[in-house]
Structure formats: C-alpha cells, structure tokens
Structure 1
Amino acid sequence: MGTQLSQDALNRALIERQMLRERADTGAFATIERLFGIQAQEPKSPYIGLWTRLNDFQPQELEDLLISRYVVRILLMRGTIHLVSAQDALGLRPHMQLRLDRELQSGPFAKRLKELDLDAVAEAGRKILEDLPQGTADAGKQLKERWPDREHTVLGNALRNKLALVQLPPRGLWHKSGRAICTTLESWLDQEQHAMPRERLVLRYLKAFGPSTVMDAQQWSGLTRLGEVFEALRPQLVTFRNEAGKELFDLPDAPRPDPETPVPVRLLPEFDNILLAHADRRRVIADDRLGVVIGGKPTVLVDGYVVATWAITKERTITVDYIDKLDKSRQKAVAEECDRLQDWLNPS
C-alpha cells in the first residue's frame, strides 16, 4: 500500500500546497486556480486568504478580476459559495447539480417544494434573472405570480440550487460590497457549462490538497462514487497510508516536505478550505476544535496547526483567543503576524 505518512507529514504537504509555508510572488488569478477555488461565504474572506499567501497582495487586484469576469462567486463544492476562475466555474458546476438537487428533495424547503415542477420553475427563473439580474428572493416574488400557492422565498431558494447563479459585483468587492444580485453563469460569461472530466477534477484536488483518501476528496467536493475515478487513475498515482492504515493517493511529483519543516504563523479567514477539504481534518485541526470552523471563526495556525481564533474589532485591531497555551516566543510570533494584518487593513 505504500509508506506510512505521519500526521505531521500530511500537515506539511498540505501547508506547502496551500501556499502557507512562505508567501509567494504569484498573482491572485494564478493562486485561485492553483488552490482550486477559495471558500467565499463571507465576501471579504478571499482577500484575507490571498493576503496570507501572497507577497504584496492588494485588494484592487481581486476586485479587478471580479469586475472583468476572470473570476466569479458561485455555489459549488459542498453547496457553498466559492471564488473560482471563470473556466473552473464552467467545468465544476455541472458536477454539483446532483447534490444540489438532492438538497432540494431532503433539505429544509423539501416539504414546501413537493409536487412542484422544479424544471419549469428553473426555466422561468432563468429568463427573469438573465433579463434583469436581481436577488433570488426578488425573482421568487415574480415566480409567485405563476405559482401563487408557493412562498416567494421557497421559489427563490429553488433557483439557487437549480441554476448556476453567479453573485455579481459589487457583491464580493473589498471597498464596496452589497447584497447578492445574481444572473446565470452562462449569461455572465457568454459561455456554456462544460463538465471537466472527473479524472481531471480528482487530479486538481490532489495537487491542491493531497495526499488524500477517496473519502477526503468526496468530503471536499460533495460528490460520491469517486472511488472508481481513483481506481482508473491508480497507474498515474502513488499511494501511501496514514497512521490509521487508510490508503492515501497522491501525484508522483507533488511536494511532500520533511515533517520537521518549519512553518510560520498564519492567519486564516473564515471557512478556509484548508480546514474543510478532508474527511479527516486532524492534519491541520484537532477533532475537538472543529466547532470553531463550523462557527465561522477565523483561525490561527502555529507550527501548521490551529491553536487559536482571531477577530477584527470595531477599531480595526486584531484580537486573538487562544485555545492552546503557547510559550512567549510563539505568542510573540502570533502578535507580529497580527500586526502585519492590522497594518494591511489600515494602510496609512
């Protein structure tokens, strides 16, 4: 099955691939593609995620990418909003449809959607949102004229799942965000969706998050039956096992640094994908700390692992809430990184 990789070895591989060992001189667009998307439920979290990974990153760079349509905000992996390149959005979104359909059938709106022709709702909603981008609840009010026995919020939620909807700027801009105004991905980019091969999806995932188990890839994507894809790719991959004996797959030439490789303090935004991309997240956060991720708290990495959460006060200063007791040298390193972020947030 291959060599055993320790938890620290998996940590260092993930840190390296997620560009957290040292800040890079890469541009924002190349970074977003390399990371295979950035979690973006909170509109400003991608900016922090890029700041912590890149040298001299400025918000205007990402704003320009959103306005020029090179990157988009769209519902993707795990049914959550991600910031991805336009081409990745077109290639990934078709893979998510089955999961989003299941969510409508079993989620909180399922009973109120019963016996409703969702395909008809989707096509009517497509015309509304392509004619005039607007919020899904606003579109739902217009759909209610055709389906008067349904709540407009329920109809709007159906569009959220049935259509590939992009959240348009100014939503997601650093200097001036706004409410989620949507149109379809196809209309915004003037291109049709084209599902990337599942094999390519898995290879891209491993490049950004490996070494990983099949279940890890399924957790990240929200897809099922990826085991057959891994098997088809097996001749191209190398395998290891983790401390529990589970099989890990990886790209042969992907970086797997020494487990003792030093790692600097890093501040992560809410829901950073490094914390969400594996079924077994102990390579970066202990099981008893997952609540801080679920609760949407920004986190602090020390020696590669989550040891604290951080927050921005009303005065735009950084505060830290430690989970672990750290020695003075590590606390100093955390304080210095907080100062760097504070200076970036408050340019003179």
Structure 2
Amino acid sequence: MAVRRVQWALLDLQFDLPMFGADGDFGGETAAAVSAYKESRGISPSDGKVGPMTMGRLDTEPLPSLDDLQMHYSDRRSFYSNRALAKARDSENAEWLPEAGWAANRARVVDLYGYYRDLYQTAPTEFLWAGLGRMAGGAVVGGLDSDPAFIEQAIMVRIGRDIFFDLAWLHEAFLDHPSEAIKLGHLHDRFNEYTTYTAGLPAFAPGFPTRSYGAAWNKITTGLIAEGNRDLLENEQKSIIPPHYEVLRTFVFSGLPTPFTNNIHPYHRAFIREVPSGDILNTEDRWRWITFPDGMYQRWDDIGVDERVRLTSLPMDDLTAGQFGPAGRPELLPPGGP
C-alpha cells in the first residue's frame, strides 16, 4: 500500500508512470518518476529513493481530493457503462437478476456476447480480449444450456455481469479517447470494488486488481497490444472470477458441465487435454490452460485479424456446438485436434 500511495501521488502530480502505473511494484519507472519529482522540488539527492523528507513533501503537496477523483471516476464509469449497456440491447431485455437463474437471464447474456462481438470488430487489432470474450460465450451459453440445475446458476450469471461491468466501460472510453482510458484505468485500480461472499451472500468490497488497468491500456495504446490484453484477461481470471468459483467449490460434487471446458476456438485444446489432472474452478489450473504455450491466448493473437473476425462472426449456435467452420489458418491448428 505504501508504494501505491507514492505512485498515486506522482500520477496526481502529472509525473508519468507510463508502463506500470500504480501497480504496487517499486520498479525502474517509479524510481525515475521519484527522481524527477525530487529534482523539481529541489530535494537532494535527486535519486529514485523515497526517504522521510520525500514522503513528507509528497504528503503536503496540494493533490486532487480523493472525493473529487472518485466522483470523476464514478461519473465516467456510469456514462460509459450505460453506453455499453445500450449497445448490448439493455432496454430490450428483462432486468438482470442473477438470482432468477439461467432461463430468466439467457437472452440478456446472449446479447452481452453479441456486444463483445461487435466491440471486437470495432477495433479488431486492439480489442483481443473482447474477441476472446465473444468466443468464450459459446462455452458459457452451451454449458448453462446443458445444465440440469446441477450448478449454482445465479453465480454463473453473476460472473458474466461482473466481467461486463468491470471491462466493457473502459473499452468504450478507449474508443472515445485512448488517453482517457489510461487515466480511467488508473482510477479503476484505485476505486474499483470486487464481489466478495459472506455466508454465501454476495457483496462488494474495495480491493486491488492483479494487474494495473491503467498500465494495460497504456500497453494497448503504445503497441504492446497482446501484453495489455493479456493483463485484462488476467484481471478477469484472477481478480473477478475467483470469489465466485470459490463459492462453487463448496458445493457437493462441485464442477462445471463439459461445454465449459471445451476449446473455445479451434486453435487450442480442451481443458482435459491440456490440464488432465486439473480443476477448472482452480485459478492456477485455469490460467495455465489459457496461457499454455501455443494455446488459447497465444494462438488467438497469432491467427490474425481476418481469422479472428471470421470466428467472432459465427452465430452463437455454432459456437455452442463447437462448429468453427474451415480453418483460415490450418497451419496453426493443434496437432491431433482439440
């Protein structure tokens, strides 16, 4: 927390932390920003160390109030979330009520994955996460369609809702102003709240993401597109989903129907093939499946824009059935099939 406190103060004072933002890691860029700050304030030596004098000076700087920053964050997040909801046909669907189960929320969730399709195709070079999210819709919809009330459907619907409200709005901000997405991403690092469960009941609580959202959008903006999108994906898998899956693991015979663990695009293998002794509800097992060398995420990047656009354009019924059509990049198909 002390490192983030220094980083947030530097960012508020307009000292750049261009790659990593307020990520809690005191690396070279934070040290460089500290050095620049000390030099600008006549603090000697103007090195990258934060001692009592530097910390005392930072503490007395006229910084923007947290209330003002949080108000700006809340206003922009609401604005861009409402835009994303409108594009996801919010007004044409029943109210989003996870507790009502899958059938009551199915149309809304299918439209949500349609939104990810359209969002990806708006910026098919930059929005790798959104495109992969569209493909994952086949597994989610197929899995819930096949579930005879075996899993806790409210939790699965809640996961989809939480991911949407965590990530869609920043994509919309990027479409308006990439630099604004970076700034809002840094505020998201600071002010976002995450689902937590007490006695099986969900609530929201402050927390920190696995990866800095501000840094992720900076990477996407400055050409490190695959790395930035991977950071967004890691936050989805390690910051948003785990509290939900930990609750699922408390149920007798916990697990997910097979469609959830099938390959979500033709260029990687199913979970059981890649992590045969793993548990899909376990974060590290699931992350290993996603990031397996030459697997789900890397191949999604490798296949290129044309093939990604083709795949994300497939009807949801084809995705749920794993019917991906003739491969546009057959040389990248996994040996031996999925």
TM range (shorter): under 0.3
Q: TM-score, normalised by structure 1?
A: 0.24
Q: TM-score, normalised by structure 2?
A: 0.25
More strand per residue: 1
